[in-house]
Amino acid sequence: MEIKGVAAIVTGGASGLGKATATLLAAQGARVTIFDLNEAAGRATAEAIGGVYVAVDVADEASVTAGLDAAEAAHGVARILVSCAGIAPAGKTVGRENAPHPLDRFARTVTVNLIGAFNVIAKFSARLAAADEVDGERGVIVNTASIAAYDGQIGQAAYSASKGGVVGMTLPIARDLASHKIRVMTIAPGVFLTPMVESFPQAVQDALGAQAPHPSRLGKPAEYAQLVESIVRNPMLNGEVIRLDGAIRMPPR
């Protein structure tokens, strides 16, 4: 699918991987709408790329519907969806003083990362299914999982479970949407230089990057965005999860 002139939505587009993706898509001529709860960063990013910002909670049905309405009013029916919104709280199954992992924290992680992603996918696809085909397809969905879905570390039970769910739903959703000519792909990034990682001491950043065999460094958000572009443009990429990680396999801690 060509990107120029196409309406696109990026959830979590105010920072990190989402911001890099929104920036690249806009530079390629897409009409981008950013869904994010960080209003200041969302508006600043949208202004910088000539896009539109909408405050959206991906886990809330009414919020997503309102966001899609606003995006459609601004740019027409979106044909590209990139889901980058997510949270990553840490906590062991049994923590200090033998306390169990707080169930509300586990549920919140799954609700945002997995249920929220599906919420946006389903509502986005329902609108796109009624649009005309362009060069044999209607649109493309790119989800964001994590290598934690495969190599979950100590303290990542909730996060890994949520991202494992994103991996697991990729193929069935691609099959569900095949009759509508909508492709579905997932990227599982390794350790990238996102705002959270940037807050770590430089020595910690260097140690994390050194764990990747090659290139032996942290991933750049622009490299994630570059893969999104490749997925959008290649019509045979469908129903698959791509690890983007420099061949890293995470140790237990």
Kindly list the catalytic residues: 159
Burial letters 86-117, b for 16+ CB under 10 A, else e: bbbeebeeeeeeeeebeeeebebbbbbbbebb
For the chain, what is the radius of gyration of the CA atoms?
A: 18
In contact, 80 and 6? CB cutoff 8 Å: yes
In contact, 31 and 50? CB cutoff 8 Å: no
Of 131, 130, 134, which is closest to residue 2 (Cα–Cα)? 134
How many other CB atoms are found less than 10 A from the CB of residue 154? 11
